[in-house]
């Protein structure tokens, strides 16, 4: 189920929230920040491994650490739209 088009932003955000929630074993919302939720670099790496496998793209870790999840997903979505994975 590719989510690599601009129309798929909400879908991508929900998927990332779902995966982060799974890794952190807690409910998360898109306006929360990954680090503040208890995330760390190993979980970020695992999250990016999944994203890479599914979409050929990864979250920018600096963005993930600084912005709310929804905005980090939006940044990724922008890159995906600009440079679709081969």
The answer to whether 64 and 52 are in contact (CB under 8 A) is no
- Closest listed residue to residue 16, CA positions, set 62, 52, 51, 46: 51
CB of 19 to another protein, least distance (A): 13
> Which among 11-19, 34-42, 48-56, 70-78 is the span making contact with another protein, rule CB under 8 A?
34-42
- Let me know: does 63 contact 72? Beta carbons within 8 Å: yes
In the complex, what is the shortest distance from the CB of residue 82 to another protein, in angstroms, rounded to a whole number? 21
Segment contacting another protein (CB under 8 A): 4-12, 13-21, 32-40, 68-76? 32-40
């Amino acid at each position: 189920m590719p989510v690599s088009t601009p129309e798929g932003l909400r879908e991508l955000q929900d998927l990332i929230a779902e995966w982060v929630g799974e890794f952190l074993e807690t409910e998360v919302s898109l306006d929360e920040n990954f680090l503040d939720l208890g995330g760390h670099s190993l979980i970020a790496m695992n999250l990016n491994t999944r994203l890479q496998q599914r979409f050929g793209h990864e979250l920018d870790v600096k963005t993930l650490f600084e912005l709310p999840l929804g905005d980090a997903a939006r940044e990724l979505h922008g890159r995906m739209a600009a440079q679709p994975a081969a």
